[in-house]
Amino acid sequence: MAQDKDAQMRNLIAGYRDSMMLSDIKALIAVLFVAIMMGTVLQYRQQYPWYLTPLVILTPFLIIYLSLLFSVYPRFPRAGRERFPIWRNADPQDFDFVADTEAELEGLPALCAGLSRILWWKNITLLTADILAIACLAAALVLLFVARP
């Protein structure tokens, strides 16, 4: 039964890592798109109504851009990880790989929980950027077409 639990944990960890890589790819594509759109929208600022200042125009883009960058920002689980020493005067033998399967098996739940937490925050920041983009599009439609004198 313990082997099944360890195999399930490893499969779950692999799934979390794959999901994080896919969300990073999506966020990086969206960052590129937002950066291109920000310049295009700012280019035509003379044609917007007087109440849409460049700060008002750029604020949603910057918030979306920062949310996407926070989503891509690497966060690594540190709980229970003692395999990579970071010391000022490290020797090469400090980095020798020691196959300690018991320590690895004991660290699987902590790694799984850490990756789950990272993936949750990535999804929250991506969802925030998506909802904000939709809300800004609706607000832009209202400001451009309904609020015209």
For residues 106 and 83, the answer to whether their CB atoms sit within 8 Å is no
Q: What's the confidence (pLDDT) of residue 80?
A: 47
Does pLDDT of 74 surpass 80? no
CA–CA separation, 88 vs 96, rounded Å? 17
**What residue type is assigned to position 25 of the chain?**
I
Give the model's confidence band at 82: pLDDT under 50 very low, under 70 low, under 90 confident, else very high.
low
Region 34-47 average pLDDT: 85
Higher pLDDT, 141 or 147: 141
Distance between the two ends of the chain, CA-based, in angstroms? 72
Give the model's confidence band at 47: pLDDT under 50 very low, under 70 low, under 90 confident, else very high.
confident
Higher pLDDT, 85 or 113: 113
Higher pLDDT, 97 or 107: 107
Query: Structural domain boundaries of the chain?
Result: 2-80+121-146
Region 10-32 average pLDDT: 85
Which three-class secondary structure string do you get for the chain? CHHHHHHHHHHHHHHHHHHHHHHHHHHHHHHHHHHHHHHHHHHCHHHCCCCCCHHHHHHHHHHHHHHHHHHHCCCCCCCCCCCCCCCCCCCHHHHCCCCCHHHHHHHHHHHHHHHHHHHHHHHHHHHHHHHHHHHHHHHHHHHHHHCCC
Average pLDDT, the chain: 78
